[in-house]
Amino acid sequence: MRRSGVRSPSAPPNPPTPITIIARPPHKESVALPLNELSAGAAIGAVRAGSASVEAIVQTTFDRIDEREEDLRAWAWLDSEAALAAARAIDQRKDMGPLAGVTVGVKDIIDTAGMPTSYGSPIYAAHRPAADAYAVIALRNADAVIAGKTVTTEFASAFPSKTRHPHDANFTPGGSSSGSAAAVAAHMVSAALGTQTAGSVIRPASFCGVVGFKPSFGWLNRAGVKPFAESLDTIGVFVRRVADAGLVAGALDGRTDWMNVEPLSKAPRLALCRTPYWGQAQDDGRAALDRAARLLAEAGASVAAFDLPASFAVLTDVHATIMWWEGRRAFAHELAAAPSQVSEVLRGLLAKADDLSPRDHDRAQLAAARARTEIDGAFEDFDAILTLAAPGSPPPLSEGSTGRPIFNATWTLLHLPCITVPGLSGDHGLPIGTQLVGRRGGEARLLAVAAWVESAFAPP
């Protein structure tokens, strides 16, 4: 679906002070590549070197979307006219922002002025937000170009979206950030925004073979994002290179220590954590993690087995209690005003909160707080946790599932930064990513470790 004619304002009223960081282009990809295939960092470098214009990059973005969208179904809304106008304006500027050359898809639970934001629900089919979410304001101020809105599952929950896997349309791309992961994997855009409440950035990144980065809870401002669980929701990004994750996420809040990522200068100390849920992994998922550990050890990393404390085995239940308790309240209006337009799947999941009391939620929050304190100390002995990003390869569409977040929910509950590094594959030749988990607030080091892992996975 390619639409134009709905013009987005070039900047919302009363924007924050524009970001003035000049990002050093971190990649050396050849501009001989089709412009839509350049990583975000390479696109920035091409624009700054004068070898490509922002307009040319945006035009190839929409050419690629025209080529793949009918089969992929990654977009809820597109506006080529407004995107090209924004690109031409950026090309005329003497001083460009740090993301000039980057094209972005915005998950459709994140508000955009001048574009619809339907939250993946027919209830909001006609909804037009009055203002951009803070993350969108930040992207515009950094001179990224918003291509449109990417498909989300209903209210970023479990009911599958229309999006197909970018490498095999018979499989799910994951969820809930379905369109964002698929659009980046298909070279439609060089970056996309997603959100994670359980596993909605890390898992679809694994399925689609891209980098998914979820910072520590609360590190990126969520103003203008439709809430699900207020103590879990986190904005994340999808890109094709680890360094690009730092560039884009760092520009969202001026975090300069994320924006110039280099691989760790020495081999990292990695804690191989199979988690208490290892028995629920698929055979190809288990094989992929074991292979990742071998590859990284052969590259020089210290890889030591690490078991979570026995008390952590209940944390998926703790996570579920918090998520459904808070979700039931977040969607109180929709359930009351238009229950027939809420899917049976979501109604059933939110009904789990009916048997919970405020005391249950309080106890879950206290258990989560204790676990966060306990896990902090473990990072004295290693640089990152190495673990599964998903149970294995993506499920077939026929199963009606976007995959289970069993290997994500605990880390999300713990408020830890996580990143998916692609490079391995499983059944059907589809991607399987490796998840790295860092210390709370330790994004810069986690990104450096991930860049080292990325280079170790790269073919000679």
Q: How far is CA 271 from CA 296, 308, 457, in A?
A: 12, 10, 17
Residue 32 has a pLDDT of: 67
Q: Is residue 26 part of a domain?
A: no
Q: Which residues are known to be catalytic?
A: 107, 176, 200
Which burial class, exposed, middle or buried, applies to 360 when counting CB atoms under 10 A from its CB (0-12, 13-18, 19+)?
middle
Q: What is the mean pLDDT of residues 373-398?
A: 96
Give me the helix-helix angle, 54-72 and 40-49, nearest 10°: 150
- What confidence tens digit (pLDDT) does each residue in 281-294 have? 999 999 999 999 99
Q: Is residue 2 part of a domain?
A: no
SS3 label, residue 62 = helix
Q: Is 60 exceeded by the pLDDT of residue 13?
A: no
Q: Is 90 exceeded by the pLDDT of residue 185?
A: yes
Q: Is residue 265 part of a domain?
A: no
How many whole angstroms separate alpha carbon 182 and alpha carbon 143?
Answer: 23
Q: How far is CA 31 from the centre of its chain?
A: 26
Residue written as tokens 């009351």?
Answer: 336
Of the candidate ranges 6-15, 195-204, 276-285, 425-434, the one whose mean pLDDT is the lowest: 6-15
- CATH assignment of the domain containing 73: 3.90.1300.10
- What confidence tens digit (pLDDT) does each residue in 314-353 have? 999 999 999 999 999 999 999 999 999 999 999 999 999 9
Token pair in block for residue 182: 């698929």
Q: Which residues lie below 8 Å from residue 375, measured CB to CB, with a gap of 6+?
A: 414, 416
SS3 label, residue 209 = coil
Cα of first residue to Cα of last residue in the chain, in angstroms, is 39
Residue among 199, 200, 331, 344 at smallest CA distance from 179: 200
Q: Which residues lie below 8 Å from residue 355, measured CB to CB, with a gap of 6+?
A: none
Of the candidate ranges 27-31, 96-100, 198-202, 349-353, the one whose mean pLDDT is the lowest: 27-31
Q: Which residues lie below 8 Å from residue 14, measured CB to CB, with a gap of 6+?
A: none
Full-model pTM? 0.93
- What confidence tens digit (pLDDT) does each residue in 204-245 have? 999 999 999 999 999 999 999 999 999 999 999 999 999 999
427 DSSP assignment: G
Q: Is residue 325 part of a domain?
A: no
Q: Please spell the DSSP secondary structure of 84-128, one letter per residue.
A: HHHHHHHHT-SS--TTTT-EEEEETTB--TTS---TTSGGGTT--
Number of domains, the chain: 1
How many whole angstroms separate alpha carbon 255 and alpha carbon 366?
Answer: 30
Residue among 110, 107, 108, 117 at smallest CA distance from 222: 110
Q: How far is CA 110 from the centre of its chain?
A: 13
- What confidence tens digit (pLDDT) does each residue in 297-314 have? 999 999 999 999 999 999
Q: Is 22 left (phi over 0), alpha (psi -120 to 50) or beta?
A: beta
Strand order in the sheet with 103-107: 75-78, 145-150, 103-107, 191-196, 234-239, 211-214, 418-425, 431-437, 384-388, 269-272, 302-305
Q: Is residue 8 part of a domain?
A: no
Residue 208 has a pLDDT of: 98
Q: What is the mean pLDDT of residues 401-412?
A: 98
Q: Is residue 271 part of a domain?
A: no
Q: How confident is the model at residue 33 (pLDDT cuts 50, 70, 90)?
A: confident
Residue 378 has a pLDDT of: 87
User: b or e along 293-312 (b: 16 or more beta carbons within 10 Å of the residue's beta carbon)?
Assistant: bebbbeeebebeebebeeeb
How many whole angstroms separate alpha carbon 51 and alpha carbon 357?
Answer: 61
Mean pLDDT computed over every residue of the chain: 93
Q: Is 50 exceeded by the pLDDT of residue 4?
A: no
Residue 312 has a pLDDT of: 96
Q: What is the mean pLDDT of residues 177-181?
A: 98
Q: How confident is the model at residue 460 (pLDDT cuts 50, 70, 90)?
A: low
Q: How confident is the model at residue 5 (pLDDT cuts 50, 70, 90)?
A: very low
Q: What percent of the chain has pLDDT over 70?
A: 93
Q: How confident is the model at residue 459 (pLDDT cuts 50, 70, 90)?
A: confident
Q: Is residue 300 part of a domain?
A: no
Q: Is residue 447 part of a domain?
A: no
Quote the domain boundaries for residue 101: 35-259
Q: How far is CA 337 from CA 35, 122, 334, in A?
A: 46, 13, 5
